Structure 1
C-alpha cells in the first residue's frame, strides 16, 4: 500500500509526546498546500476527506488518484495517511477502502450504542483484511462543519472502552466538549474524563473540532493521549481571508496565476502553525 495506516504514525506519537495533524481537503488548492508543506517540512501527515464532501470532490477514486499525482509530483518521502473522515455508512467506508484509502473513520455517534458497535465492527473486519485502520467515535461532537450538524454529548468512559474492545478499533474519537466549526463562547473540554478514558484504553485518541482551541488545551489533550488532531475550519478561514485581502487591496485583479498562490500561501502558513502546535516543530 502506498499510504500508511494510523497505526504506523500514531504509536510513535504516543511514545514521543506529539500529535500528527489531520488536515481536511476542500479542493485542489488544499491538497497542493498540504503536499508542499509536507515536502518542505519533512513531516508526516494525515490527509482527511469528509465523507459528505466526497461526491463534490469527484468521488473516492478520483480523490485517491489526485493524491497519488501530487504525492509523486512532490516526491513525498514522509508517512502519509489518506483518511476518510466521518464515514456515514459501512458501504461508504468500504468504497473508500476499495479506492485505496489507508484509513477510515466510521461515525456511528448518532446511532444507538449497540448499532455503533455492530457497524464499527463490520467496518473493522473489512478494513483489517486490507491493512486499513479504523477510527471510531462515541458521544456527540457539537457544531456545524462540512454538512455535519451535532450537539455536544459527552462520551462515557465505560462505553468508550466497550466500543473499542468489541469493535477492535485502532483509534477512538471520544466527544469531550470540542465542536466542529467555530466556537460560540469558550471551549470547555472534559479533561478529567479524558484522562480516565486514556487510562482505560491502550489505543490512540483523536481530537475533532480542534480549530479554535487554545495552545494549552491542545497540549494538555496531547498529554492525555490525543495524538491525532483534526484541523479544517482554521485552514478554510486562512484561505478565505487570504482571498479577501487580495480583492480588498487589489479590487481590479482577476488573474488566477496571481490570486491562487496567495490563497495557497494562507493555507500553508496555517499548516505550519498547526505542526508547531502539535509539537512536531520546536
Structure 2
C-alpha cells in the first residue's frame, strides 16, 4: 500500500471523537514496533520524522524503512515531517516523498508565521501534500526544539481563527500547557481546557494537534533509573488529560518521549541482566517489543483502535 495523506484521517477522527497517534521514528526497530502495534489493533497511523531524525538516519534511509513497512502492511500510513523550521526543509520533504509536513513558525511574530506558513501551504498543496502549523510556543526540550518556560506562549483563540483563514493550513498545533521532553511540569500538571474549548468553537470542524503529549509514565522512568539512568523528577501529562483533550477537538497526538523511555528502559535492563550480551539483536529486540506495547497503549488511549478500515 502507498503512503496516504492525513486529511481523511483527521476528518474521521474529528467526526468520531478520537485522535490519530503520530509517533516519532529514528531507526528500524522503532518503525517495526510502531507498525506492529498498529497492525495488531487495526489503527490508522502517522509516522513522523523530525529534522533531527533526518540528520541522524538520513532521508533516504527513513524513506526505505517506511517503504519496507508499507510492503508488509495494508494500514493507512502517513509520513509526516515534525517541526520543520524553514521553507527549505519542508520543500525537501515534500519533494522527497513525505505526505504531510509541519512548518513551525511559532518562534516568529504572528505576521511572519502567517507569511512562512502560507508559502509552505501554497507549495505543498500544489504537490498534494498537507500542512500542519503551530501557533503559540510549547516550553521544554526535545530533539532540536528548545523553548524556555518564560518564553512559552499559549495559543490565542482569536489569533488561531485568523491564522487558519489567512494561511489555508490543514491542521493546527495549539499550545494549552503541554511541553516537549521528559520534564513537562514542576508543579501539578495543568492543561488549559477552557482555552482549548474556545479555540474549538472558533474553528468548528477543524483538526487540532497536541504536541508534547507524552505522559512520562513513572514505571518507565523508574526502570531507566534503576538500571543506570539519571532522570530525577521527570514528569509528563497524565493520560486522563490527554483523553479529555481528544474529546475536545484534538485529532492528532504526538508521542516521542514515551517511546524513548520505554525503549531505553528495556535496553538498559537487558544489558544489566545479561552483561555478557554484546549482540545488538538481543538487546534491541526487547526495545522493539517495548515500543510496540507503548504504542498499543497510546492507540487505545486515543480511541483509534479498529479505525483503519474507515480511513482507507
Name the TM-score class by shorter chain.
Answer: over 0.9
Query: In 2, Cα distance between the equivalents of 1:257 and 1:4?
Result: 31
> Contact between 1:35 and 1:71, CA under 8 Å: does it hold in 2?
no
Question: Residue 309 of structure 2 aligns with which residue?
Answer: none
- Residue 235 of structure 1, aligned match among 245, 251, 259: 259
Q: How many residues align?
A: 279
Deviating runs (4+, > 4 A) in structure 1? none
Question: Residue 65 of structure 1 aligns with which residue?
Answer: 64
Q: What are the Cα deviations for residues 75-122 of structure 1, in whole angstroms up to 9, with x where unaligned?
A: x11211100000110011011000110000000000111110001001
Query: In 2, Cα distance between the equivalents of 1:163 and 1:65?
Result: 35
Q: Any stretches of 5+ residues in structure 1 without a counterpart?
A: none
Question: Residue 175 of structure 2 aligns with which residue?
Answer: 175
Query: In 1, Cα distance between the equivalents of 2:37 and 2:244?
Result: 25
Q: Please tell me whether residue 117 in structure 1 is matched to residue 114 in structure 2.
A: yes
Structure 1 residue 48 displacement after superposition: 0.8
Secondary structure of the structure 2 residue equivalent to 1:189: coil
Q: TM-score, normalised by structure 2?
A: 0.86
Query: In 2, Cα distance between the equivalents of 1:63 and 1:240?
Result: 21
Query: In 1, Cα distance between the equivalents of 2:129 and 2:2?
Result: 12
1:39–1:46 Cα change, 3 Å: same
Question: Residue 225 of structure 2 aligns with which residue?
Answer: none
Question: Residue 156 of structure 2 aligns with which residue?
Answer: 156
Question: Residue 254 of structure 1 aligns with which residue?
Answer: 278
Question: Residue 231 of structure 2 aligns with which residue?
Answer: none
- Aligned-residue CA RMSD in angstroms? 1.4
Q: What are the Cα deviations for residues 17-59 of structure 1, in whole angstroms up to 9, with x where unaligned?
A: 1110000012221111122222222211000111233121112
Question: Residue 106 of structure 1 aligns with which residue?
Answer: 103
Query: In 2, Cα distance between the equivalents of 1:263 and 1:243?
Result: 6
Question: Bigger shift: 41-50 or 225-234?
Answer: 41-50
> Contact between 2:19 and 2:253, CA under 8 Å: does it hold in 1?
yes
Query: In 1, Cα distance between the equivalents of 2:119 and 2:164?
Result: 13
Question: Residue 210 of structure 2 aligns with which residue?
Answer: 207
Question: Residue 219 of structure 2 aligns with which residue?
Answer: none
Question: Bigger shift: 176-185 or 238-247?
Answer: 176-185
> Contact between 2:42 and 2:305, CA under 8 Å: does it hold in 1?
no
Structure 1 residue 3 displacement after superposition: 1.5
Secondary structure of the structure 1 residue equivalent to 2:70: helix
Question: Residue 184 of structure 1 aligns with which residue?
Answer: 185
> Contact between 1:42 and 1:77, CA under 8 Å: does it hold in 2?
no
Q: Which has the higher contact order (CA 8 A, sep 6+)?
A: 2
Secondary structure of the structure 1 residue equivalent to 2:79: strand
Question: Residue 42 of structure 1 aligns with which residue?
Answer: 42
Q: TM-score, normalised by structure 1?
A: 0.95
Question: Residue 83 of structure 1 aligns with which residue?
Answer: 80
